[in-house]
Each structure stands twice: as structure tokens, then as C-alpha cells.
Structure 1
Amino acid sequence: MKDLAFQGTWRAYQQKILDDLANLIGDDGLHIVAAPGSGKTVLGLEVMCRLGEATLILAPSKTIRDQWAHRLRTMFLPADLAEPEWISHDVRAPGTVTIITYQALHAAFSGHSSEEEILDGEEEGSDGAESGEPGKQETEKARKKIIAKLHEKKVRTLVLDEAHHLRNEWWKALTMLKEALGQPTVVALTATPPYDVDPQEWDRYQALCGPIDGEISVPELVLQGDLCPHQDYVHFSLPSALEAQKLAEFRAQIGDFIETLLESAEFKEAILRHPWITQPIENVEHILDDARFFSSMLIFLNSQYVDLPQSTLDILGVKAREIPDLTLEWIEVLLNGVIYTYRNDFEEAEQAIRCQQDRLREIRAVEHSRVRLTDPRSVQKLLVSSVSKLNAIVDITRLESASMRDELRMVILSDYIRKDALPTAPADLQPIERMGVVPIFETLRRSELDLKLGILTGSLVVIPAGSKGILDEIADRLGIGAEHIRYQPTAFDAGFLSVELGGELSRNIVHMITELFSRGGITVLVGTQALLGEGWDAPSVNTLILASTVGSYVLSNQMRGRAIRIDPRSPQKAANVWHLAVIDPEKLQQRIPLRFGRKSTDGKAPDPYDTMTIDLGSDVDALKRRFYAFEGLSFGEPPLIESGFQRLMLGAAKWNARGVDDINKMMERRAADRKSLKSRWHSALHSKRAVARMQETLESNYAPKGLVNWNTTKFLFAHSAALAGMILSGFLHSFRATHIRSLQQLELVLFVMFASLAIFCLPGALKASLLLLRNGSLEGSMKQVGITVLETLHHMGVIRTDLGKVSVEATLDQNGMIYCRLAGATTIERSRFLDALREVLVPPQNPRYILVRSSKFWRLNRVDYHAVPSIIGRKREDAIYFAGLWNRYVGHTELVYTRSAQGRLKLLQFRAKSFASAFTRKTDRISRWE
């Protein structure tokens, strides 16, 4: 490796890590988290060079594998030097530096003769499964042979790129490799740590990669000029006419089914005879095992005007008026219990149940032996693959093309190629009915926009015919002769050419088309997320449309990272990232006709904190989850940098057809104004803190008394006062306009006025007062609860940083939202702290321990329940320690073990309390630049 030397200049964060390398790598490894486009590949190569040992580099895909090799050749070797022989791409014949994929390692360890992988799942139905598995003996022999070869080459360094969310077989191969090499130095690099996985998988990841030694966020890189200013936009669509008709038909069938169900005296009688209803005390243990089903029966009977026995309600600790309304979700829970889980309990009503089951199957509301009334997969698939997204892509492309003109470099990523959708002749203009690379390309081709369209996938490459000369120049510079490139005019349009590169040279096609794109030979490139969504290096991309259905934490962040890199050829680059979502109008309009059943007398108050309370369907839900994966600029003033969907400021949006059009126009106006992006980022990046950075924070509208409770009541008091003011204003206006001639007339006017005030305003004021007295939450403050969690986790050894160096910070914003964070801790310590704190605020379904505090104020009894976080509740001594700190910092409470008979009864009441909450508890983890 003596010829290797970095040819460029280190960025500030890279130099800082390299300067401190000796200290960071002291635990036999280096684990760095850095955003896409931050230069972590060259950093990993430099660390490899400084360690000076033979190295095995593992990447998650062929594209990223080739990127490692390309960076090594172009940035660490002299320009006139060919790739040395000591660089290998085959673990069976390792070199001083061997670069392979995780799948290639698994294939080699399993005795497969080829390391070929399903390139990108580009065709629907491909799953990457391997066939012809070798026997156990052959597998063991192959593995030992490879390990021997690696020992022979003295491989002592493992470089792991994005070593998470791997298939189980790949994990096993990786773990065996590390163990077989003894104690290799592990250099782990990732843009997206798997914070979204369960604790067991996180422990596995950390055991492999070690603790995180350094973390560089997107805002820090924008601040340093290593990533460009950028913004996320969403184009909302309504389903096509045909899709809307299918949705309406399905929902109408569901509505008819429910109407029949609610009219069925036999079904109602079957529920009434169930032993959990007739003998609840004797069946408490069973009820505890499935409290949701028990609740669904109570809700159903309550909607049918059945006076429920007080003994049954006492088990839950609720009153009849606190039972929720019957909704589609509760009917789904009820039917799954009656038809599947507890079918044997309803033998006397077997005929009626079979009839309901047959009808559900008939309307396709059963999937894998589960009733699905709310979001069956057929509905989810219809929304996520809606052809209305094709029209949205045309609208976005028209806007961006008009705005950027020749400077446009747009990439559109989809899941599947759909090669069968290619027209066979110029006149072949079949309706486009599916999403995919070819349908998107064909829709844009037919739109007659002034574009240079192209396709880049693993098996299909199309370029504009007019760009052939540029591609030939690029090939010549790479030493690829014209005889190796096959151009074929497309059957549907002579203005386009399909391109193929033969033999081993085919690996150059991605680089060649990327260069053609950068030089303007293609201005709109359509490709698969699997080929281009991860590791593809194209700094010229300034507009990205994510037409992929992927909602995963990791892939969505990787795809977005393609657009936000700086471009040396365009120093003023600002990038637009477009997301597509289809609204479910049937769900929005609440058309499920529950024509029977009474409503609860205690209506829910509006939630002044929730940014989007309306259910817009599964496609929008997936988009919201995607937005938690990355930080970006908010639409508000002043601009903030934070993660989450709320930064788009859509809380007041109208979600009818006209409202959706208004939202899209607002998005388009903002997208066209790229010049303001740089100044808005500059404003948001310059924090009041001495050292600004991304802070992972818990955002909640449910918090200690004296903070959000008071703001909640202020909200209701304000509404009551406003209403009172309106009524008084009206009466005073009438008073001025009316000639009152006697004292009796004045008394009558005043009586009517104050009676109106009492009727219309007192309920809100009383509700505010009752909320203050009855619906209290944690005593003390959010900070005190945070300290309780912090000190317990430190006592357990989960948080190892000295308590004197960490602190709990809690702040309240103008909207009544509380933000709580842990300062001074490591990344994983902050993550564990926020997970535990969230479980206190948003109770899990089945905690081992709960805290119960009973109090009485005048005639009102109040009982507060709080879960002991699962990480603390695993051991009794830790739960006792937590309860002791709670008594010290928060208030007196009783620790209850929920696995005992008495404790399980308390657990039922703990769950039931959520029925009566007047405000929805909203708690989310977000990241914010502060």
C-alpha cells in the first residue's frame, strides 16, 4: 500500500477525526456516522492506509462496491497508474485490499460458485433468493478455505459500509468472519445508524461495529459548505377516477356489511353471552391477555344501547360515558376476535359467524386469516402505486424545467422497470396503468415537454439519439472502443437509442451515463432506486423525485442523499427533493356509514398541538414515517432545521380537491424560489448557542402539571372567553340599536344575555377546570421526570457518562409543546434515554411495572398511572430504584408488579384510562438544530 496517498484536501470534520485517530481507535475499532455526501468513503480509505494492514472492505451493493474501488483509484493513486494487482474483488482470491459486497461474502461462505446478486429487485416479484444450496459439509469446507486465504494475506482490518438492516444470512457470515479473524480492527461507516431497530438488533449492530465515535449531521455539513442548501416538497394527488371508484365500491361494501352486522340480533346476543361479559371477575386473567378484544365487545354493546353491568365496568375502572365511540378500528378488533381468535367461545352462534366470515371474504376484507376493514393491502397498494402520481411527475417536471431550463439535472427514482410497458411502435399508445421506470419515461415522452429524457437501470439503458456523440466521447476517454457499444433505435421513437455494453465493460455503463447526464446529454434521468438510490455518485443532480414506494428509514435517507451533494461545476447549487403522496378521499370524508349506535356523551376536545389530525390514508402515513429519517428546513418563520413532517406546516391545510390544489401551488411557488434557500439555511444555521448542533429531542404535548396542563386549560379558557366576547359584543350592538324604555326591559335583556353566556361558554370553562383537576399527568416537571430516568439508567450502567457532565433540558414553546433532551451524553446514551422517557409519557401495552398514584381533591378522585420503562422494568431491583427516585423527585407513588393477580387488575385500569382522555397524547422523537 506504499503507493497510496490522498490526492485532495481534507474537510474540517475529516481532519479532526484523523488528528484524533489514535484515541478514537483505541477500542480496536472506529465507528463514524456521517450524512450522505460527507466523504466518508475517502475517510475510510485513509484510515485503512494509516493502519497499514491488509484490508477487506464490505459494501451493501455492487454500486457502492464499485464506488470504493473508483475512489481508491482516482483519489489515492497517481493519475497515470492503472489499478494495481493487489486490489481484488473476489474474497476467494483476496489481495492486499479486497472489496466485495455482503452478499458476495455470504455466497462464498455458502459454497456458491458465483457472487452474482439480484442486482436491484428491479422486476416485481424478485426476492434475491438463491437456489441450489450446497450441503453443510461443502459450506463448512468453503468457509474454512476462504478464512485460510485471508489469514495467508494477513487481513487485519475490516471496513464495513452501512453494516445494518442486513439479511440474517449476511449477518451470520459477517459475524463468523470477524470471529475467524481473531481481533481485527473494524472501521464502520454509516449515514443512517439503525436507531429504528429493536434493542436486540441494536446490540448486535454495536457488538459488530462498536460504539459510535463521531457523528456529523447534514446541517453541520451544509454549514461547512460540504452539502448544498436543499428543501423537501410534497406533491399531493387524489386517486384517478377509476381508482377512486374502486375505493368507493370497497368502502360502500364495508358500510353495507357493518349495517347488516349492527342489525343482527343473533350477533348481538352472541356477544352478550360471552363469558367475559357475563362473568368478568372469573375471567380477569383472560381479559388481561387480550384487553383490546374485551374493550371492543364493551364498545359494541354500548353502541347498541346495552346497559353494561357495573361489575364489568369496574374491572376497567371506567364509567359508561367514558367508553369510546364504535369505530371501524374497533369493529375490526371485534371481528378478528369473534371469527378467528376466540371462535370456540361462540359455538352457539357458529352459523351466524360463518355467514359474516363468508361475506367478509366476498368483499375481500380478509387477508391471511385476519379481518382488514381499515387499510387492507389492496387499498394500500392502490394508493402507493396510483397512476395519478404520473400526472404529479409531469407537473413537477414542467415546473422545474421552466425554472431551471438547461441547468436542470433531474433524477426520478422508482421501484420497478416495467419493461413490458415499452411501446412496440410509434402508434402504440396504450393507456398507462402502472407506476415504474418505463411508465414514467413514457408519460414524460408523451407530455411533449422540452426535455432530454433517459433511462438508467441494470437491464435497460435509453438515451436521446442527439446525445450519442457525447457518449462516444466519454467512452473514448475511458478507453472503450465504438465496437464495444451497441446502439439500437427504439421501436417507438427514432429520437431515442437503447444502449448496451458488452462483456466485462458493462460495469462502466453507470459511470458513462452519469457523465452524460452531468454534461447535459440527459436532463431528466429515470432509474430504479436500487441501482441509483444508494451509493450512486452524481453531484450534478439538482432535482430529485422519489417515486419509490419505499418507506424504510435507511433507504429513504440514502436516496435523498443523491441530490444534496455539492457540485464543483455549480457552486451556487440548491437542490429540490420532491416526494409524492396520494390522499385517500374515502377515508378523509369518513364515509363508513355507522348508521346505528349512540355516540358517547363526552365529546373529545380539539387538539391545539397536533399538526395534522386528519387521517389521509396509508400513503401519507408512509410519507410521514419517511420524514422522520432526515432533518430539513421548516416552512415557518423564522426557519428551523428539524426532522419530522410537521416542518411542512400543513396543520391548517384544507384537504378537499381545491385545498390539495392550493397546497401543491404553494409547494411549487417555494420550489421555484431556489435563490432564497441559501439565505434561509444561513438564518436557521446560526443558532444562539455557542456551539450549535443537531439535538435529538422528545417532543410532547403531554407533560408535567404546571406546563402543558396549564396551556391545555388556557386553550379551552381562551375559546370560552372568545365565545363570551362574541356574545357580549352582539348584545351590546343590539343594546345600542334598541330603545329600552323601562327597567323591566333592561332586566330582560341582561337576563337573556347572561343566560346565553352560561349556556354557550360555561361548558368550555368547566371542561378546562375539570381537566386541570381530573386529567392531570406527571407531578412536578418534565425535567424532574427526566432526571429520574437519567439517574436510574446511570445506576444500571446503561448511561456511563459521569452525571456531572450530563444534564436534562426541558423547554416549552409558544404552542404548548415541550421539548426534552439529554445534553452531554453519547449518541446511544441519548437514544436510550429518550426511548425510556417516551415510555413514561406514552404507555406501552404491557409493562411489567407501573406506578400508581391516587389523590383526592374535594369530591374528585384522581388516579395517575405511569409505565416503568421496559429497559428499567426487566429487573425488580431497577424498578424499585426508579420508584424511589420518582418518590424523591416527582411525588409519592406505589410500584405495582403487573404480573401478579392484583397487579394485572391495575394494569387493566391503567389501559382503560386512555379511553377517557380529553386530549390525545402526542409524543414524538425529532432532531432539531439548536
Structure 2
Amino acid sequence: MDHLKKEQIQWRTYQARVLANVEDYLDDQSIHLIAPPGSGKTLLGVGIIHRLQKKTLVLVPSLILKEQWLTALRRYDDLLKVSDELLRPTDITVTTYQELYSKKKEEPMYFEEQRIQFLVLDEAHHLKSSWSDALLQLKMHTPQLQTLSLTATPPFDANRKEWQRYLALNGEIDEEISVSELIKEQVLAPYQDYVYLVSATAESNQKFEQFLLEQNHIVQVLCSDSEVTEYLLQQSFLQTPLEETAFIYKNFDYYLSCLFYLNEQGYTLKEEHWTVLGLDKRTAIPEQTKQSLRDLYSYLFKVQPDLEIFNYLKKKKWLYEDVLHLFPEYTLNNEYKQNIPQLKEAISHIVVKEESYLKQEFSCVIFMDRIKKEVLQGEEQEWAYGVVPTFLDLKELLQPQTELAAICGEFLLISYHIGTERYSAYRASFQNHPSYEGYYYLPLTERNKAKVLVQTTELLDQKVIQVLVGTISLLGEGWNCPAVNTVILGNRSSSYVQTQQIRGRGLRKTSEDKLTNIWHLGLVFPNIPLAEQPDLFPITRRLSYIEGINNIEELPLITTGSERFGLPQVATLEQIDTYTYQQLFIAKERKLHLETWQTALLQGTRLSMPLFLKETTETTEPINSFLSLNEQPKKGFWASLTSGELASYFSERRREKNWRKKCQQKEQLLEALSHLLREDQLIKAEDQLEVIVTSNSFRCELKTASYHNERLFVEAAKELLGEIEEPRYLLLVGENRYAIPERYGKKKQEAERFLKEVQKRLPTAATAYTKNPKGRKLLIEGRLQTLTNEKKETVIQRKIWH
């Protein structure tokens, strides 16, 4: 499509939709688009630039992408005035982030002086802090500047501060073109993600258990230090709390952590504490948590760093360089080394199985972080993990007809047969060695690297090579081989961005029956809860952002969420092996998965973002049941009577009645919110609120064709229904407390307007300003509701194709 003139282009459905909505997106001076690799982002960007007709600067992270943009612009319209020099701009200038950053001191007012009106940030996830700082400063000097941000992989798993910086530069997300939409339009191929569980060795397991025991011991010390206890008992805010309410409300998390601490020491709370908290004496005081211990010791370190406990924490390496590092994460470096044979065996197992399933149709790429070239010089192979050791292992296992190759920035390893036939131009550079008998070693240089990579990629695409082992640095972002139908992430994936980039290498569509299997390796410590697994949990968290087939209903759904992988919550060795063998068995059924995708795609037209609300206890696992709207059959009155379960029958009916009453109130609040958003023309008149309540779940969704409108509603609804943090205004409905969403909670006038709309449905509702003592107390009561309730209301957002 990039080769077409503008008059010849047949825009795809999603591209036409974006182009039609450009003016709406620019209501905040920015357009922020997410679209998978292969969706035509560059051409879409060119179309937007052409539509706006403004002086434009396009920034890209690499010279390859710079050339791609220049080519696309010139082919689109050869009358466009296009420059590739930052300091000699024309109507449209294309350069790299690096060049702009290097020139920022020379040209601090570049946008203003050159009258740049439109800034395109391609691959926006690349914006590191230094680049984003420079761009934010330039934007500040140019208040009328409009921006377009394009990315396939926004940093969804970034911390809150990094995410806020990302949004400050790129604006709120206006449109997310889903992989499902592209599969439905037959632009990309369906896929199936699998997690291969690798059991940690007994020695590794012992080390991790020792780490957990050590952590538990430190926690016990932190929960019962006599010097800390003595210090706290002398504090006036604990001795006479009613006289210190100003301090308490200002430092409430610290105050609460002190009460938890003293309660666990066996001290009884005074009457005044119950008054300050606004709680009944019969309320159970929650147990100390990791967060409350952080609150306690962070404050103590600030005001009383000479306490002996901090010397203890220094020895335990929980305090260094004058910074507390409470509950440090387990470092897996040594454990990865100890488990290298098992990880390599997992890769070999996957490759051999997939080879047997696909035979001559097999086209596999294995991504590694490291090369481990020293193995070619005789270093022990068993404990090395990288391109070379993986290649040498597979060399001995694959069928004679399966062609294997390995490539990185330094060399290519290719069989004698393919090397002689297809790489004859480099014959003078071929080297032989007993370590890789049957294969040539071709050194790569700056002169031949690009050509050798292109040639190797073409051979993999033609299935002349079936298995390619390579480094992420060479085969990651920007590399493309449409024929690939098996992707193995042998790397230690560091982020959602990198995981998505690697996965994207296998999603190009080449035939009607293509389905790509994507394999993730997870090191598992037996009998440890999933949430505490130091390697597996980060992988499942990253995968939770990725949509895929979820078989939780009668008909398959396409959803996000890690629950679709069905991972065991606490796994024994036997369960780990069983799970992995099931994954390998299911991976064979590619035709079935293709049919499942087609069935699921027929159920919808877009990826929506409903919110789910459920009451859970500590022992409840809020997984598939969150999404399921199917009711479990319940025993009726007579069946309960005859089975002697009448008490539980009435108890369940009371619980359900209370739950539905709570849900009715929440539905009325959401109606008020959607009415105001409609009144303010932030959502359209035809955008309708849908709420579905069952006996144990609550689901709400804005039925709209606009991603922008739905996201705006969802963010406000999450603030309203979610855990209360630090809102400026509270909404009071009987004993319940809700945060007024920031959009209506910044100014008194807007908060009162929000209240009036709520009162049309809930006449007794009131508001409270939380920045004075009275409001602060009400805020604290609201936050305590969450802590002291036996059942916790959990809000989860999922994306569902329907």
C-alpha cells in the first residue's frame, strides 16, 4: 500500500475511521494512536499530515524508519515539499529523535522560530526521559503546537510516574486499533500464546525458600521491635489523638500503620482512637500489610533515623545509600544460571514438537538476549544460555531435512548445503570448526551485515531455512518475516513493549490457514502462589494486556486478562508438568484454533472496555468468574429444605439481596456520570450506558462506536467505583463513600453540579470537601471502609471483542 499515490489508495476500514475523526481527536491538541505492526501506521500518518496541511516535523527513532517515512511521503504525493535536514526544514521535515536532542541547545526555540505547527512522534514508546524532557520543553514554548503519536506498544506496564510523563507528551489515547480488528480484516494472522512452565531445580527452590524465610524473619522483627514500640507509645498523636487530629489527618497512612503495629503487639486501642477513626469498637483491626509497614518505617526513617532498627536493616541490605528498600524483589540471576539446562531443554522440546506437527510448513524464530560466542571457543556449553548454545543443542535434535541457522550482529551460522548454494558471494569468508561441524561460520561486518540479514530473512520466508536462532537486537523491532508461524521468546523479556515487539514478528498474514504459536518460558518455583513467582508473575502481567481467545463462556471470547491461560495458582511439580504437556498437546490443534478465532470474531466488531465489579474475600480467586455472566444453578427452597441446607439458602438470599441493592446504587451513579458527560458533549447522545447485574457480579459498559468516548467514560467510572485515594471532593450516599471523578471534582461549582445530577436519583446524597478537618475525617472513613470490610469490592477492566 505504501507504493500507491493518494488517488489510488483504498483505505482500510480502521484507517478511514481514523482519518474521518482527526478533528475530534485534536480537541486536546494531540492525536494518540495505537496500532499493531503491519497495520499501515506510516501511511496513516502521511494521510493525517496531508489532511491537516500544516508545517510538520516527523521524528523517528532510527535511520531505517526515516527512509521509510521519506519514501512514503514522496510516493504519496510527489508535489510535497519534503526535507531530511532538521536545520533546513520545508513543509514536511523528517529526522530522528537523536538529532533533535543533540541540537536542542543550539535551537531551544526551534518549533517557534521554524513555525512548526504539527509534530509527529513515530514509535512513541521509544521516548526515553532525556528525549521526552527536551520535547516537553519545546512544546511548552509552542502552546499552539499539535501532535500525532504513533505506536504499536504503549508502555502499559510502566509505573504511574512514567505513564503520566508518557501521556503528558503524547496526550490521552484517542484510538486503539486492535489486533482482532486486523485479523478480522485479514491483515494479520490469528495466533495462540502459550506459557511453557520450567520447574526450578531443587537447589534453586531451596535458595528461594531461604529468601522467603529470611524475608519473613525480617518482617517479624519489623512488626515487634521493642525500641520502635517504646518510641511510638511516647508520641502525643497516639497518647491523646483527639488533640492531634490535624497531624493525624495529614499523616493518616502513618497513623494507621502505627495502630496496626500496636494492635499486633497486644495493645488495646483507646476510646479516642475509635472516635478519630469513626468506627465501632467491634470492628476488627486489619492486620499489618507490606504497604502499612512501608508507611510506618518510611516515616520513622524520615523523623528518627537513629533508631537501632535501621542499622539492622542496613545489615540485611534493606537500607543502603541512605534509602530504604523494603521488601526487595528476589534477584533471579543465579537461579537463571542454575536452570539453564532446563530452559534450553524447554526450547528444544517446543521446537521438536512444532517440527513434528508442521513438518515442511515449519517456520520458527527463537529470540535470545545474548550470543555466548565463547562456547565456539570451547567454553562449557551446558551452563551457557544464548544464540550459540541453543543452536548447538538444536543441531543434534532436528530432522535431517530441517534447515537450521543462527544469526547475530557478529556472524551467521549456516549449513554447508545452504551456504554453498545461496551464499556463494561470501565463500572466501567462510570458516569451519569442529564445534559446528556441517555448518559454515560467516563473520558479519558493517559492509555485509545488512545484505546477509536480508538474504537470510528471504530464505526463512521461503522456508528454505526452517529454524532461525537470533538476537533481539538484530531481529527485534523493524525486522519482518511474514512466513514465521512459531515464535519462541527465549529471552528474559524485560517489558510489555519488548514482548509485543517480538510477538509481532510472527503475526504477518501469508495464507488463509496461517496461525502462529507464540511461546513464553516461565521459571516456576513449586508450591509458591502465582502472585509471588518472581519470574512467572511478571510474564503473566505483561500477557494480561494482550487480547486472545478465552474459553470461559459457551462461545469463545476474545479478551485481555491473564486468566485465559488457566495457570495453576499454586502448583506442585506434578501440576507444572501436567500444565506444560497440555500446552504442547493443545499447540498441535492449529486448525481448531483457527476455527475458534473465526467463531469469536463473528461475535463482534470492536474491542470494548467493560468494567467488572465483584465482592471477593482474601481466599477468593477473582479470575474467570469476573468475566462470566453465566449464573451457577442454585438450590431452590424445597431442595434446600429436603437437603437440610435451609439456613444457607436464606443466608445466600440475604447476601444476593444486599448485593443487588448496592449494584442499583452504583448503576444510578453511573447514569448521573454518563448524563453529565453527554450534557458536556464529551460523549454523544447515542452513546448508551449498559449495566448487567447478576447475583454475584456487576458489569458496566458505554455502548459507543468511539474508542475515545469509551476510554473517557471508563477512566471516570473507575475513579467513581474504585478504591478511594485522594479525591478533592467525596460523594456521600448513606454510609457509602465515593470519589467524585477528577473531571467533576476539581472545582466546587462542578462538584455541586455532579451532586445535583446524582440527587435526581438519590435525593439524600451529599458532598464533602476533603481538604478541611471535617472532610478529611469523612475521607478517612471512606478509606477505612475498604480496609475493614470482610468482602472487598474489586474493579477490573477488561477488553472484550463484541
The TM-score normalised by the length of structure 2 is 0.82
Q: 3-state SS of the aligned residue for 2:726?
A: coil
In 2, are the aligned partners of 1:702 and 1:777 still within 8 Å (CA)?
no
1:205 paired residue number: 170
Whichever residue aligns with residue 750 of structure 2, its letter is: D
Task: Report deviation, 1:332.
Answer: 4.9
- Show the counterpart of 2:469: 526
Distance 2:186 2:406 in 1: 31
Please name the residue that 1:36 is paired with.
Answer: 37
Which of 175, 199, 204 is equivalent to 1:238?
199
Whether 1:393 aligns to 2:306 is no
Matches within 5 A, 1:205-224: 205-206=170-171, 212=174, 216-224=177-185
Within-5 A mapping of 1:503-522: 503=446, 506-522=449-465
1:562 is matched with which residue? 505
Aligned to 2:519: 578
Mapped to 2, the partners of 1:301 and 1:494 lie a distance apart of: 70
Give the C-alpha shift of residue 299 in structure 1.
Answer: 2.4
1:104 aligns with 2:79: no
1:923 paired to 2:795: yes
1:921, distance to aligned residue in structure 2 (A): 2.2
Give the alignment of 1:710-859 within 5 angstroms.
Answer: 769=654, 778=662, 780-794=664-678, 797=680, 799-802=681-684, 804-812=685-693, 816-824=696-704, 826-854=706-734
Q: Distance in 1 between matches of 2:248 and 2:317?
A: 30
Which amino acid is 1:253 matched to?
E
Q: Supply the distance in 1 between the matched residues of 2:791 and 2:726 (Cα, whole angstroms).
A: 22
1:110-149 correspondence to structure 2 within 5 Å: 110=104, 136=105, 139-140=106-107
> How far 1:543 sits from its partner (Å)?
1.4
Q: Deviations over 1:372-413 (max 9, x none)?
A: 564525369957996454443333223222212232222233
Quick one: distance in 2 between partners of 1:291 and 1:383?
42
Residues 200-255 of structure 1 show CA distances to partners (whole Å, capped at 9, x for unaligned) of 64353139xxx84x653222221121111211222223333332222122222233
1:401-431 deviation per Cα after TM superposition (whole angstroms, max 9, x unaligned): 22122322222334x32x4563144x53244
Go from structure 1 to structure 2 and tell me whether the alpha carbon gap of 1:42 and 1:358 turns closer, same or farther (over 3 Å shift): same
Letter in 2 for 1:646: E
Paired position in structure 2 for 1:646:
563
Matched, 1:493 2:375: no
For the residue of structure 1 that corresponds to 2:253, the secondary structure is helix
Letter in 2 for 1:780: Q
CA distance in 2, matches of 1:279, 1:794: 50
Given the superposition, is the C-alpha separation of residues 77 and 883 from structure 1 closer, same or farther in structure 2, using an over 3 Å criterion?
closer
> Is 1:305 equivalent to 2:266 in the alignment?
yes
1:428 paired residue among 367, 376, 379: 379
Q: Which one of the candidate residues 265, 268, 278 is aligned to 2:239?
A: 278
State the alpha-carbon separation in 2 of the partners of residues 928 and 667 from structure 1.
23
Residue of structure 2 equivalent to 1:884: 756
Moved more, 659-668 or 443-452: 443-452
Distance apart, 1:654 and its partner CA:
5.5
* CA offset digits 1:759-779 (Å, max 9, x no partner): xx66x9658747865x89846
- Cα 1:497–1:17 shift into 2, 3 Å: farther
Paired amino acid for 2:504: G
TM-score (norm 1): 0.72
Residue identity in the other structure for 1:283: E
For 1:386 and 1:289, the matched residues in 2 are separated by 49
869 and 77 in structure 1: CA distance in 2 versus 1, 3 angstrom threshold: closer
Instruction: Report % sequence identity.
Output: 25
For 2:391 and 2:242, the matched residues in 1 are separated by 64
CA separation of 1:105 and 1:327: change in aligned 2, threshold 3 A: closer
Contact 2:410/2:444 (8 A) holds in 1: no
Q: How far is 1:16 from its partner?
A: 3.8
Q: Residue 189 of structure 2 contacts residue 514 of structure 2 at CA under 8 Å; is this kept in 1?
A: yes
The answer as to whether partners of 1:91 and 1:105 remain within 8 angstroms in 2 is yes
Instruction: Answer yes or no: is 1:686 the counterpart of 2:595.
Output: no
Instruction: In structure 1, list runs of 5 or more residues that go unmatched.
Output: 79-83, 111-135, 345-349, 474-480, 589-613, 730-753, 855-862
Shift of 1:641: 0.9
Cα drift, residue 37 of structure 1: 1.8
Q: Does 260-269 or 675-684 show the bigger shift?
A: 260-269
Among candidates 484, 488, 496, match of residue 541 of structure 1: 484
User: Which amino acid in the other structure matches residue 601 of structure 2?
Assistant: L
Question: Is 1:701 matched up with 2:614?
Answer: yes
Would the aligned equivalents of 1:701 and 1:923 in 2 still touch at CA under 8 Å? yes
Contact 1:542 1:575 in 2 (8 A): yes
Cα 1:326–1:44 shift into 2, 3 Å: closer
Residues 282-297 of structure 1 mapped to structure 2, 5 A cutoff: 282-297=243-258
Pairwise CA distance, 1:532: 3.1
SS in 2 for 1:58: strand
- For 2:671, give the aligned amino acid: I
2:317 alignment partner in structure 1? 364
Q: Distance in 1 between matches of 2:320 and 2:397?
A: 39
Deviations 1:688-710 (A, max 9, x none): x6xx222122122259xxxx9xx
Q: For 2:546 and 2:609, how far apart are their aligned partners in 1?
A: 12
Distance in 2 of aligned mates of 1:284 and 1:396 = 62
Change (3 A) 1:262 1:482: closer
- The amino acid across from 2:669 in the alignment is V
Contact 2:118 2:145 in 1 (8 A): yes
Shift of 1:198: 4.9
Contact 1:63 1:536 in 2 (8 A): no
Structure 1 residue identity aligned to 2:419:
K
Task: Give how far 1:501 is off.
Answer: 4.5
Q: Distance in 2 between matches of 1:245 and 1:70?
A: 57
Does the 8 Å CA contact 2:258/2:296 hold for their aligned counterparts?
yes
In the TM superposition, residue 899 of structure 1 has moved relative to its aligned partner by 1.0
**1:904-928 CA distances to partner (integer Å, 9 max, x unpaired)?**
1222222111122222322122211
The answer to whether the Cα contact below 8 Å between 1:384 and 1:549 also exists between their aligned partners in 2 is: no
Q: Which amino acid aligns with 1:378?
A: T
Q: For residues 159 and 331 of structure 1, what CA distance do their matches in structure 2 show?
A: 45
1:903 equivalent to 2:785? Answer: no
Equivalent residues of 1:194, 1:202 under 8 A apart? no
The question of whether the paired residues in 2 share the 8 Å contact of 1:635 and 1:648 is answered with no
- Flag the 1:55–1:385 CA change in 2: closer, same or farther, 3 A: farther
Once the two structures are TM-superposed, the CA of residue 275 in structure 1 deviates from its matched residue by: 3.5
Q: Secondary structure at the match of 1:889?
A: coil
* CA offsets 1:310-366 (integer angstroms, 9 cap, x no match): 32233223446522234555445544444x23426xxxxx5xx42x43443334344
The farther-off stretch of 635-644 and 256-265 is 256-265
Q: 1:286 to 1:533 in 2, by over 3 A?
A: farther
Number of residue pairs matched by the alignment: 782
Q: Structure 1 stretch 186-195 or stretch 86-95: which is displaced more?
A: 86-95
Residue 394 of structure 1 aligns to a residue in which SS? helix
Deviation at 1:495, TM superposition (A): 3.7
The structure-2 alpha-carbon separation of the partners of 1:179 and 1:876, relative to structure 1 and needing over 3 Å to count, comes to closer
Cα deviation for residue 103 of structure 1 reads 2.2
- Cα distance, 1:820 vs. partner? 1.6
Amino acid of the residue matched to residue 853 of structure 1?
V
Distance apart, 1:500 and its partner CA: 4.0
Aligned residue identity for 2:664: G
Sort the Cα spacing of 1:423 and 1:867 in 2 relative to 1 into closer, same or farther, 3 A.
same
Q: Matches of 2:528 and 2:598 in 1, distance apart?
A: 40
> How many angstroms does 1:649 deviate by?
4.0
Shift of 1:537: 1.8
Distance 1:917 1:226, change over 3 A: same
Of 386-395 and 890-899, deviating more is 386-395
Is the 8 Å Cα contact of residues 4 and 49 (structure 1) preserved in structure 2?
no
**Per-residue deviation, 1:668:** 1.7
Runs (5+) with no aligned partner, structure 2: 617-621
Amino acid at match of 1:698: L
CA contact (8 A) 1:780 1:890 kept: no
Check if 1:251 corresponds to 2:212.
Answer: yes
CA distance in 1, matches of 2:471, 2:545: 20
